[in-house]
Amino acid sequence: MKGTAENGQKSKKFRITTSIFLDWVEELSIALVLIAAAFTFCFRVITVSGTSMVPNFEDGDRILVVHSFSEPRPGDVVVIVNVLEEPIIKRVVATEGQTVDFDYAAGAVLIDGRPLDETAFGLENGITEYPYTSFELLDFPQTVPKGCVFVLGDNRAVSEDSRYQVIGMVDRRDVLGKAVFHLFPPRGLGPV
């Protein structure tokens, strides 16, 4: 009789232990599925490639990009796909209906006839020089068409951006998302 009671106790402990283990596996599985879904549909970690966004982003920096469900706004740093072989990171300077022009003598980007205040982006005003390149440039002024944005790199001397015909006006559907946080190297708290 004593052996049967002990076997019953062991069997009960085994069932409880197994139940707890299976609950943990289920919880962990759900968490992993939710994390995978979040990284697929909500945000991604992107590694910056190149120097077109210096001084704000260096080659190799890692940033958190949130898939944007709202319209990109001037000043937003966005990751763009389907325009070159690799995704590119640029800053939105104009949205649909705005007219973009350049005053290369003053080094200024003109939005609707007014110089863009680039100090709001951590840049100096007067940094935009005429690009010396073999790539074809758009003629300016240009009005941003419906459903598009105009983007520039922060490092204008080396940035392939909306000034070039190969990129031009970027369809908002090609904006993967907005850069919201500098993950590595850490640059203090707060958004990018």
Using DSSP's 3-state secondary structure scheme, residue 24 falls into helix
Distance of alpha carbon 88 from alpha carbon 50, whole angstroms: 9
Set 2, 11, 29, 52: catalytic member: 52
Q: Facing residues of 92 across strands?
A: 151
- Rounded Cα distance between 189 and 177, Å, is 20
Looking at the DSSP bridge assignments, the partners of residue 178 are: 66, 78
Q: Is 52 a catalytic residue?
A: yes
- Catalytic residue among 2, 12, 19, 90, which? 90
Q: In what order do the strands lie in the sheet with 175-184?
A: 43-47, 62-66, 175-184, 77-80, 88-95, 148-152, 170-171
Kindly list the catalytic residues.
52, 90
